[in-house]
Amino acid sequence: MKVSEALRNRKSVRAFTDQEVDNELIKEILTSAGHAPSGVNTQPWNVLVLTGESKEQLQKLMEAEFRAGEKGKMDYQYYPLEWQEPYKGRRKECGLQMYSALEIAREDKEKQLNQWAANYRSFDAPVMMIFYMDGVMETGSFLDYGMFLQSVMLAATEQGLATCPQAALAEYPDIVRKFAELDDDCKIICGISLGYEETSAAVNSYRTNREAIEQWVKFL
């Protein structure tokens, strides 16, 4: 598969089959992604790979916290404090596409809540990956991390696997740190759900829009 094909074929998948992913395949994907560039070769990435009982235990802890009404707080500010255009409109369109595909009405708050809760189960994918870095690392390492995460998803696409990058899996960092016995000062970055796509699922039937490059590229 060409890189350009993997870039276009990759999408965020929110329904997976129950087919397990072999650990050796996961290792191959992460090994390939580990060749991503990083400032002065710091390689700031660390990865938790959770499957089976470990995944069940952690996702139950996070989902229970969410359903108890405890709003999560990430280790860093992900979204703007006040949404402005064009980002506000893009965000709204993305949500509308998903809920339309699932036939969840705007007033059906219970179904919306249940759909959001699925985030903390990695949408029932067989593999949950959580990414973190040492607390001493700073903003530049987030740039490195972005390149690494994209590399993980492209390598997975090449292997016929589906992914969904998720900020939601970093919303309860204290739970993750305690469960995995991580240092208190480490930063939980995000998660990725990994598995085989359930192609018949309605939630996987839509694709988000991409702006034409004329809207965001300036040639001088």
One digit per residue, the tens of pLDDT, for the chain of length 220 reads 999 999 999 999 999 999 999 999 999 999 999 999 999 999 999 999 999 999 999 999 999 999 999 999 999 999 999 999 999 999 999 999 999 999 999 889 999 999 999 999 999 999 999 999 999 999 999 999 999 999 999 999 999 999 999 999 999 999 999 999 999 999 999 999 999 999 999 999 999 999 999 999 999 9
How would CATH label the architecture of 3-206?
3-Layer(aba) Sandwich (3.40)
Question: Which pLDDT does position 106 carry in this prediction?
Answer: 87
- Give CA–CA dist 16/124, Å, rounded: 7
